[in-house]
Amino acid sequence: MVGNVCEKCGLPKELCVCEVVERETQKIKAYVTMRKFRKPVTIVEGVNKDSAKTVVKELKRKLACGGSYKEGNIELQGNHLRNIKGLLVKLGFDEEQIEVE
Ligand SMILES: [Zn+2]
């Protein structure tokens, strides 16, 4: 049975709606954390895997910084909290789903 049931809800995959629910309630969270050598990194959580690649690319271009997508989070070098919300909205995210700390 393992592999045929959803890890989250335990329902068979054809009945599981977790992914749909997740998409509908998708929350984007942006915050800054310090990495080694005291370098700030802006983390954007909650961008869905399918769009993350495009989002990283656009953010890197608009902010002129380095960035990557790791373990479900977008990481951008530097502190971009002032601009991140506006840019995400331009990329098609709903202002209300974005939380900036
Ligand atoms: Zn499920």
Domain containing residue 95: CATH number: 3.30.780.10
Cα of 2 vs centre of ligand 1, distance in Å, is 13
Ion ligand 1 residues within 5 Å by Cβ: 6, 8-9, 16, 18
pLDDT band for position 1 (cuts 50, 70, 90): very low
- pTM flag (> 0.85): no
* Residue % of the chain over a pLDDT of 90: 57
28-to-18, 23, 74, 98 alpha-carbon distances in Å: 17, 11, 11, 5
CA distance 85 to 57: 16
- Domain containing residue 91: 26-100
Residue 1 is assigned to a structural domain of this protein: no
With a cut of 70, say whether residue 22 has pLDDT above it. Answer: no
Cα of 71 vs centre of ligand 1, distance in Å, is 20
Q: What angle do CA 3, 22, 71 make, to 5 degrees?
A: 70
With a cut of 90, say whether residue 72 has pLDDT above it. Answer: no
With a cut of 50, say whether residue 37 has pLDDT above it. Answer: yes
Task: Determine phi and psi for 12, rounding to 5 degrees.
Answer: -55, 145
How large is the angle between the packed helices 81-90 and 49-63, nearest 10 degrees?
120
Residue 7 is assigned to a structural domain of this protein: no
Domain tally, the chain: 1
